[in-house]
Amino acid sequence: MSYGLGIYRFVDGELSPPDMDLVRAVLAPYDAAPEKATADDTDFWIRAADGGEADLSVFDNIIGVDRPALGEIRGVIAELADRLGAGILTPRGTILCREDSRGHLPEGLEKDAVFVSEITREALEAVEAGTTRPAESP
């Protein structure tokens, strides 16, 4: 079974496309196949220093993250979401968001969200593990 995460950015309750220049800038240091990269790529294979990997694909307004390894790769994913001002949807159905995005979420999504001042690897891992739940967020 494949494990995945979704990165979503909302503006005024609507999905908004990610800034592809920012996506490329954040992911470039982790590109596992730089010789295959092109300027219009929307698919990325990234690898962290600890050997962890993930495949990312941008589809219109969503970034799908397939098979993200444990470890440093979670930090790369967290940095990407944080810099984009986006949230990370986990398989638990919880979305990890920055506090400043609260007002942009669609109606009803706030009840499934955990809000933090900054999306970090540690925050993502806590939400994935279920040790931080929506009712516990500030």
Q: Residue 64: is it exposed, middle or buried by C-beta count within 10 angstroms (0-12/13-18/19+)?
A: middle
pLDDT of 41: 83
Q: What would the pLDDT profile of 23-81 be if each residue is shown by its tens digit?
A: 999 999 998 877 676 667 899 999 999 999 999 999 999 999 999 999 999 999 999 99
Q: What would the pLDDT profile of 90-113 be if each residue is shown by its tens digit?
A: 998 999 999 999 999 999 999 999
Q: Supply the Cα-derived Rg of the chain in whole angstroms.
A: 14
Greater pLDDT, 3 or 27: 27
Locate the domains of the chain by residue range: 4-136
- Is the domain covering 4-136 a CATH 3.30.70 domain? no
Closest CA to 74 of 7, 130, 10: 7
